[in-house]
Amino acid sequence: MPIISLRYIAAVLMTLFLFVSCSEKKSELSEGASAPKLSIGDIRNGQTVDVSLLRNKIVLVNFWASWCMPCKEEMPSIEALHRDMINNDRFVMVTILYKDSPAAATDYMRANGYTFPVFVDLNDSSARNFGVTGVPETYIIDKKGMLRKRVIGPADWNSPDAKNYINTLISE
């Protein structure tokens, strides 16, 4: 039985390193950058949403899925924030399904009494544009279209800190 030489192992490891380091990586959207384009449709009818309606508003973009346990942890606070801000015309909540079916999401929403708006990601282009790595992921965009905050993982959007942050952006 031949013994594998250290030189051979080093060559294999170097090849793997070069392959991984040269492979295409997702661009990561950083805070302070211009927010990318959203390509979304209404979950109820699939019709394209006019994203120009989001201009000059604070926009909370949340990618989620009904099969995602951390998303389920976050949903009550998303709903509470939605209910608190529903009448504020300077704030818009955009929740986008990520690798989930509209039927499953609708059933989940109905079963839990959630009323926040849900959109489908047309051709998965919004997730690609934002560089989504998994769910939940949330992005807060200011009135000028700049990304102000990126939150990976579940958060308490009903907390005083989260609400104060959003209200500060609204009053800028």
Instruction: Band the pLDDT of 18: cuts 50, 70, 90.
Output: very low
Write out pLDDT tens, residues 39-75. 898 887 777 777 777 889 999 999 999 999 999 999 9
Task: Transcribe the chain into DSSP letters.
Answer: -PPPPHHHHHHHHHHHHHHHHHS--PPPP-TTSBPPPP-EEETTT-PBP-GGGGTTSEEEEEEE-TT-HHHHHHHHHHHHHHHHHTT-TTEEEEEEESS--HHHHHHHHHHHT--S-EEEEGGGHHHHHHT--SSSEEEEE-TTSBEEEEEES---TTSHHHHHHHHHHHH-
pTM for this structure? Answer: 0.81
For the chain, list the domains and their CATH numbers.
27-171 (3.40.30.10)
The pLDDT of residue 12 = 41
For the ranges 13-17, 94-98, 127-131, the lowest mean pLDDT is seen at 13-17
